[in-house]
Amino acid sequence: MPRVFNQKIKILYLMRIFLEQTDEEHPMSVKELIAYLNSLGISAERKTVYDDIETLRNFGMDILNRREHPAGFYLASREFELPELRLLVDAVQSSRCITNGKSRQLIRKLESLASVYESRQLRRQGFAENRIRTINENVYYSIDMIQRALTEDRQISFQYCEWTVEKKLRPENEGERYSVSPWGLVWQNEEYYLITYDEKCGRVKQYQVDKLQQIRIEKEVRRGREFFENYDIGELTSRTFGMFGGREVTICLEAHNRLVGVLLDRFGRDIMIHRKDPEHFKTLVRVNISDQFFGWIASLGPDAVIASPDEVRNKYREFLEKSLSNYK
């Protein structure tokens, strides 16, 4: 490169050096910065490097000069601190809806936001490499298409699939296309779910995003706005188990005191807790009645009881009897 061009681009390379090569434990002296620039074919003098560092500080970069050993200049703060990046990396690694290949790509991008030294602390793929993950590479692009429809206030259509015993996704109902109004994406149980309004039946429906195929943004404007103006999607996730729909019912649960935390985590801190006796409490919660909800209640064992209404108690009893019939 010509010398003049080298000098114009020098400050950009210095910025990259601070972003990629320095942190509090790995500062660089002016001599080391000059040597690094020289290795890139850029000549530099001490005074101009000092001037460039001051320019980068004025630009907003938090560059400090460490006096004690190891001494030198380093970038003291970044857009994302290391603990924040670690949380994001862990979230990507634990996500079942992201394929292994896409997970590795995203983690490499997150690592680039730290210094080369800090990024080594983020490389923990081995802990999550064998997790159960989706094999549908299109999830990433499905989410992008849904976000576009939400932004443009448009309906979408798609094929909804089911898994076969051959571990392949097969469109339901002979490939029939579902036309719905998308209103949100919900992250629950390590999966993404699409929350929609189905105009044909006039109700909210949920779809697992990694089972969507052939998504298309339609010309029609979304329907159901009046319904969602006062609709709490967060509340929906607390009362819907496994994101399986069902008739919404208010039930009374009675449980041992040791399960207070379980119910608060599930239904939120706003539910009313009443003492039944010194060792038990009761509460009213709204749930969508489904086999998945009954399975959750069963997982709590004898310490949790559906006290009312009788209709739900009877349905739960039928669920248990059918399950037990497999073990006679």
- Asked whether 278 and 326 are in contact (CB, 8 A), the reply is no
Give the model's confidence band at 236: pLDDT under 50 very low, under 70 low, under 90 confident, else very high: low
Phi, psi of 78 (to 5 degrees): -130, 175
Mean confidence (pLDDT) of the chain: 84
Q: Say whether domain 139-231 belongs to CATH 2.60.40.
A: no
Q: How far apart are CA 95 and CA 103, in angstroms?
A: 8
Q: How far apart are CA 292 and CA 69, in angstroms?
A: 60
- pLDDT at residue 233 is higher than 70: no
Q: Of 253-257, 262-266, 322-326, where does mean pLDDT reach its minimum?
A: 262-266
- pLDDT at residue 289 is higher than 90: no
**What was the pLDDT predicted at 189?**
65
End-to-end CA distance of the chain: 82
**What was the pLDDT predicted at 159?**
94
Region 273-286: mean pLDDT is 90
**What was the pLDDT predicted at 170?**
86
Q: What pTM does this model have?
A: 0.55
> How many Cβ atoms sit within 10 Å of the Cβ of residue 52?
19
- Asked whether 177 and 184 are in contact (CB, 8 A), the reply is no
CATH match for 248-325 among 1.20.1050, 3.30.70, 3.10.450, 1.10.3470: 3.30.70
- pLDDT at residue 96 is higher than 60: yes
Region 113-137: mean pLDDT is 65
Summarised one tens digit per residue, pLDDT across range 7-38 is 678 999 999 999 999 998 899 999 999 999 99
- Each domain of the chain, given as residue ranges in start order, spans 3-75, 82-115, 139-231, 248-325
Give the model's confidence band at 127: pLDDT under 50 very low, under 70 low, under 90 confident, else very high: very low
Architecture of domain 3-75: Orthogonal Bundle (1.10)
**What was the pLDDT predicted at 132?**
46
Looking at the chain, the number of H-run helices and the number of E-run strands are 12, 12
Summarised one tens digit per residue, pLDDT across range 189-218 is 667 788 899 988 888 888 888 889 999 999
Summarised one tens digit per residue, pLDDT across range 133-163 is 555 567 778 888 998 999 999 999 999 988 7
- pLDDT at residue 306 is higher than 90: yes
